[in-house]
Amino acid sequence: MTFRTLFLSATFSLLSASVALSASVSVFKDAGCGCCGGWMSHMRENGFAVSATNVAPETMDVVKSKAGVTADTASCHTAIVAGYVVEGHVPASDVQRLMDERPDAIGLSAPGMPIGSPGMEGAGAEPYDVLLIRRDGRTEVFASH
């Protein structure tokens, strides 16, 4: 089975099951990434069922591109939640709001790896925005932290 087939199969399975499993999170990540585990723990602690697929580093750009994530909105991991893309260290409260409001969008992104975001805890926190990625590629601030 090719990666593309696996990715599309997982995506469409989640889309079709989003009503019954609206709190399921499917994460695509580099096996060597430590912060992704922190974000997944944060999501589990907030009631989400999380599964992960380790992807070769050179394949992550393909995952992001197929999901509609651009270089400007990219972070370290890409997740699919209730048919939406969640890119990077987006707080669970923002993901829940996305699911509640169901905007016509690709999903959310916390571009880069902001210190203080879920999974990126450490000394000092920097302010960061979570962006809503519209279907036409435009972004707008969804939440500020």
Q: What is the pLDDT of the chain when averaged over all its residues?
A: 88
Compute CA distances 104 → 54, 61, 98, 108, 130, whole Å: 29, 24, 10, 12, 16
Q: Are 130 and 143 in contact (CB under 8 A)?
A: yes
Q: What is the pLDDT of residues 94-138, one digit of tens each?
A: 999 999 999 999 999 999 999 999 999 988 889 999 999 999 999
**So where are the chain's domains?**
3-144
For 30-85, the pLDDT digits (tens) are: 988 888 989 999 999 999 999 999 999 889 999 999 999 999 999 999 999 999 99
Q: Which of 24, 35, 36 is nearest to 95 (CA)?
A: 24
Given 1.20.58, 3.40.50, 2.60.40, 3.40.30, which CATH number is that of 3-144? Answer: 3.40.30
